[in-house]
Structure 1
Amino acid sequence: MTQERSTIYLAGPDVFFQDDSGEIKKQLCHDAGFTPLFPLDNEIKRADPAPDIFQANIDMIDRCHIVMANITPFRGPSCDLGTAFEIGYARKAGKKVFCYSS
């Protein structure tokens, strides 16, 4: 019998970075035996993507077992506001949430 791999939703401002940090974090999850869910893996096709991005990310959080959130200050003195929302949503949904900051 195959055991289901736990899924991790990778929350944080990494989606705005023009580097490979998201791919590196996904690989670290794979290497540790987890299945990563990363917002940039969603396929969004509408001209106004905001509602679809919101719903796709909520769907990923609903599917995950764990949320790993990058709360490093972003565009100001606090964490990314979208990430803060995702943390709250995940906690309300009973998900395990782990936060980190650089």
Structure 2
Amino acid sequence: MAVPKLYLAGPDVFLPHAAAMAQAKRDLCAAHGLEGIAPFNPNLDLNRPAAELWRAIYADDLRMMRESDAILANLTPFRGASADAGTLVELGWFLGQGKPVFGYSNSAQNFATRAGAQIEAVGDALPGLIIEDFGCADNLMIEGSLSLPLTLPADGLGRPFDSLEIFEICLARVADWFRRI
């Protein structure tokens, strides 16, 4: 079997050290016998108008997704109680293509706890609506789409957003999954 290619989705592209993070993840993938494809677009002309640039990024990301065998998504909550919206679109694309979907989160809190804390902090724009609470780390449709259970901090302690510890644990599980198919 050829070396499996993993699309490394997540809001990591917004980190101030995004290029270094992408390289670190690719290196860890290689150490586990996988090829990491990070949607970091360094070859695009960033000086073009925003309306052209976002379309070019979208097209480049789709190209990388098509070239990948599976997705490994950083589902750590991003600017809210849930995972990054763009990452979830990518996750759904892989699911729709029938390709394996894997994910991890550096957060140890479940979705209901995070959502409740957010509402308490900023107020409830939609009073009377319930918060989904199945004990899942995020929305049930996210966890239900995964080929392996969501990888979370086993000790119940959250990690910094850019920590690679839980990513590498998930990566080892993904590598083992590919060895067994």
Q: TM-score, normalised by structure 2?
A: 0.52
Partner of 2:25: 25
Pick closer, same or farther for the CA change 1:91–1:42 going to 2, 3 Å.
farther
The residue identity in structure 2 corresponding to 1:47 is: P
Deviation (angstroms), 1:47: 2.8
Matched, 1:55 2:59: yes
Partner of 2:168: none
Give yes or no for contact 2:7–2:72 (8 Å, CA) kept in 1.
Answer: yes
Give yes or no for contact 2:41–2:60 (8 Å, CA) kept in 1.
Answer: no
Taking the TM superposition and a 5 Å limit, the aligned residue runs for 1:37-76 are 37-41=37-41, 43-45=43-45, 46-48=48-50, 49-76=53-80
Pick closer, same or farther for the CA change 1:11–1:99 going to 2, 3 Å.
same
Give yes or no for contact 1:62–1:93 (8 Å, CA) kept in 2.
Answer: no
Q: Distance in 1 between matches of 2:49 and 2:33?
A: 36
Deviates more, 1:62-71 or 1:30-39: 30-39
Give yes or no for contact 1:12–1:71 (8 Å, CA) kept in 2.
Answer: yes
The residue identity in structure 1 corresponding to 2:93 is: Y
Q: Distance in 2 between matches of 1:99 and 1:71?
A: 6
Gaps in structure 2 of 5+ consecutive residues: 107-181
Larger Rg, first or second structure (1 or 2): 2
Pick closer, same or farther for the CA change 1:99–1:30 going to 2, 3 Å.
same
The residue identity in structure 1 corresponding to 2:103 is: C
The residue identity in structure 1 corresponding to 2:29 is: C
- Structure with the bigger RCO (C-alpha within 8 Å, sep 6+) is 1
Q: TM-score, normalised by structure 1?
A: 0.89
Q: Over the residues paired in the alignment, what is the CA RMSD in angstroms?
A: 1.4
The residue identity in structure 2 corresponding to 1:82 is: G
The residue identity in structure 2 corresponding to 1:22 is: A
Pick closer, same or farther for the CA change 1:42–1:90 going to 2, 3 Å.
farther
Q: How many pairs were matched up?
A: 100
- Give the number of the structure whose residues are more often strand, by fraction: 1
Give yes or no for contact 1:42–1:56 (8 Å, CA) kept in 2.
Answer: no
Residues 52-98 of structure 1: per-residue CA shift (max 9 Å, x gap): 11111111111101100000000111111100100001110111110
Match of 2:4 among 3, 6, 12: 6
Deviation (angstroms), 1:24: 1.5
% identical equivalent positions: 35
